[in-house]
Amino acid sequence: MLDLEILTPREALGRALADLGDMREDVVVIVADTGETTRAKLFAERHPTRFFNVGIAEQAMVGVAAGLAMVGFTPFALTFASFMTRAWEQARNTVDRLALPVRLVGTHAGFADAYDGPSHQMLEDLALFRVLYNFTVLAPADSCEVYKATTASALVRGPVYMRVGRDFHIPTTCHMYDKFEVGKAYVALEGSDVAIFTTGVVLPFAVEAARLLRDRDISAAVVHFPTVKPLDFSQVEKFAAATGAVLTVEEHSTHGGFGSAVAEYLAQVKPTKMAIMGLKSYGRTAKSPMELYQYFGLTAENISARAEELVRLR
C-alpha cells in the first residue's frame, strides 16, 4: 500500500498522475522540460505514448493542452508555478473562455524553491488564477492531500489550477479525512474564540498556533481550505458567526489570494473582525523553506499572537 506520508509533494503528484493514467486512457501529461523536477517522469515511465515535452515553452504547453482537451483528452500541464504565469494569456483566452478541462499544475510554489530566490518563488498565483471565471483553484497542504486533490481534479468539468510544493511538507491531513472533495473545507480543530482559516502548506503552523492559544485560555478553531475557488462559503460563514473573529493564513501575497476571497465574501454577507496573514513582498534566497517562514513571520508563534490580538479587539 502506498505510504503518502513519506513522499514529498512532487513525488505524490507524480504517483497520482501515474496511477490516474493506469485507470484512465484519456489522461495525458504535458511538461515544459520539467518532467524530472515535477516528477511527471513517473507518468512517462508507465505511459510514454501519452507524455509530451514541449521544451521550455510554457505558452505552447498550455496551447497543446487546450488542443488535446478539445479532442476528448484530460490533459495535465506541469511546470514551476513561477513559469506557469508566462502562459496566463493562454490560460485566459484559450482555456478559460472555452471552459476546457485542462489541469494546470504549478509546482515549486510559494517558498518551496527557497534556494533559487525570489524569481522562482511564486507568491501571486492564487490571485492570478482565482480571477479567471471558470477555473477551480486548489492548494493542498501536504503529500497526502496532493495525491487526493490530483485524483479528484480529474473529475472537475472545467479548468483547474493547482499549486504544489517541492519537498517540504509536514503531514497533517493524512488522517484528517478520507475522501477529498473539491469545494469542501475540513475542520482540523474546533474552537469558539477565533477561527484560523488556512490553505496550502501553512496548515500545521495554524494547528500548532491553536495549541499555543489553548495554553492562554483562548479556544481557536482551525479550518483548512484546500479549495480556494470555489470557496466553501458555508464553513466561512459558520465559523465567522461562531467566533466573531477570523484570521486567514497563506503562503501567498496578502493581495488577491485566499484571505482576499474570504474577506470579499464576509464583507457582503457577514462583516466580521478579521486579519490576513501572508506575504507583502517578494521572497528571498534561503537554505530552506522553513528559514523563509521564520523570516517572513509565518510561524506558529506569530499566528497565535495575531489571533490573540483579534480576540482582544472583539
Mean pLDDT for all residues in the chain: 97
Do the beta carbons of residue 62 and residue 91 sit within 8 Å? yes
Q: Looking at 11, 58, 208, 308, which residue is catalytic? A: 58
Give the closest residue to 203 by CA, choosing from 81, 110, 312: 110
Query: How far apart are alpha carbons 102 and 95 in whole angstroms?
Result: 7
Q: What is the largest CA-CA distance in the chain?
A: 60
pLDDT of 23-48, one tens digit each? Answer: 999 999 999 999 999 999 999 999 99
The predicted structure's pLDDT at residue 1: 65
Q: Are strands 220-224 and 186-189 parallel, antiparallel or unpaired?
A: antiparallel
pLDDT at 54 over 80: yes
What is the domain partition of the chain in residue ranges? Answer: 4-163, 186-313
pLDDT of 231-274, one tens digit each? Answer: 999 999 999 999 999 999 999 999 999 999 999 999 999 999 99
Global confidence as pTM: 0.97
Catalytic, 5? Answer no
Give the mean pLDDT of 142-160. 97
pLDDT of 292-313, one tens digit each? Answer: 999 999 999 999 999 999 999 8
Query: How far apart are alpha carbons 239 and 180 in whole angstroms?
Result: 21
Q: Find all residues with CB under 8 Å of 20, minimum gap 6, and list them.
A: 27, 150, 151, 154
The predicted structure's pLDDT at residue 2: 82
Beta-carbon count within 10 A of 86 CB:
16
The predicted structure's pLDDT at residue 314: 76
- 3-state class of 196 per DSSP? strand
Give the mean pLDDT of 190-216. 98
Is 3.40.430.10 the CATH classification of the domain at 4-163? no
Domains 4-163 and 186-313 equal at CATH topology level = yes
The predicted structure's pLDDT at residue 313: 85
Class of the 186-313 domain? alpha beta
Give the mean pLDDT of 55-67. 98
Retrieve residue 229's grid coordinates. Answer: 475557488
Give the closest residue to 249 by CA, choosing from 303, 177, 191, 190: 303
